[in-house]
């Protein structure tokens, strides 16, 4: 059975999402940022359109890393 992607955080800023992605990469967790192009095109919209996704099997570990890290979720 294939491991599916799940959203673990949402951001209104693609820079914050990419910082979180890099933090996870430092711990060996592959993450995907969705919606960053839309957020970059329409930065004035106060919406949480940028999502950070990881494989479901790494969800718990990724959430713990983000909670203990420097990246602030919106």
Confidence grade of residue 69 (pLDDT, cut at 50, 70, 90): confident
Prediction pTM value: 0.80
> CA 72 from chain center: how many Å?
11
Confidence grade of residue 14 (pLDDT, cut at 50, 70, 90): confident
Give the pLDDT score at 48. 61
Condensed to tens digits (0 to 9), the pLDDT of residues 26-64 reads 999 999 999 887 666 666 666 667 899 999 999 999 999
Could you count the other beta carbons within 10 Å of the beta carbon of residue 53? 19
- From edge to edge, which strands make up the β-sheet containing 31-34? 5-11, 50-55, 31-34
Q: Which of 45, 35, 9, 14 is nearest to 24 (CA)?
A: 9
């Amino acid at each position: 059975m294939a491991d599916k992607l799940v959203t673990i955080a949402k951001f209104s800023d693609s820079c914050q999402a990419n910082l979180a992605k890099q933090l996870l990469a430092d711990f060996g967790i592959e993450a995907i940022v969705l919606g960053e192009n839309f957020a970059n095109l329409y930065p004035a919209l106060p919406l949480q359109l940028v999502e950070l996704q990881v494989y479901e099997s790494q969800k718990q570990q990724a959430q713990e890393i983000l909670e203990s890290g420097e990246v602030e979720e919106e």
